[in-house]
Chain A
Amino acid sequence: ETGVTQTPRHLVMGMTNKKSLKCEQHLGHNAMYWYKQSAKKPLELMFVYNFKEQTENNSVPSRFSPECPNSSHLFLHLHTLQPEDSALYLCASSQDRGQGSSPLHFGNGTRLTVT
């Protein structure tokens, strides 16, 4: 059983819809991440939060809006998406104590289809 839970597992939305992806980690970690996984492409880092503060925004379009209310929860708010945004969105967490040697713990992802 993963210590990182993502909901929903599957989401189909139209281009004019607004939806949110949710991630919760039960590991006591202080850093959380959103990654995008598309077919035949490397994982793309989207956002990084450390102690609820955003430390990385990897040139992600504004139609993706992250929110991190506390160290255990991470949201990705979606609006006016494009069909090319269809992908598996993965949330991850890690315990960063200033050394960077901790591995990432991933959720099982949300499979997003934009119609």
Chain B
Amino acid sequence: GQQVMQIPQYQHVQEGEDFTTYCNSSTTLSNIQWYKQRPGGHPVFLIQLVKSGEVKKQKRLTFQFGEAKKNSSLHITATQTTDVGTYFCAGNRYSGGGADGLTFGKGTHLIIQP
């Protein structure tokens, strides 16, 4: 079945440093989504990437979807304490319908030291 690998599992950074998490799928994806989960909270949707090579920005967050639609990355510039949490990628093998074709990575836990 489809596998979605996410690295690193944990990342410690000093506040103000940059952070990047990478997501790789064993199969070509229709689209990829990113979610953030604060400690003790629930996953919250951040963004969806659909097109090959797509790049989207949300303030300090930059999301990329690879040309082959098998990998993606999330980059945070100048991390802040509010960025603490776990970032999940979720690869979708279906272009339409619901999210039953979504496979979540195990997430990258971002820990920020002030």
A in complex with B: no
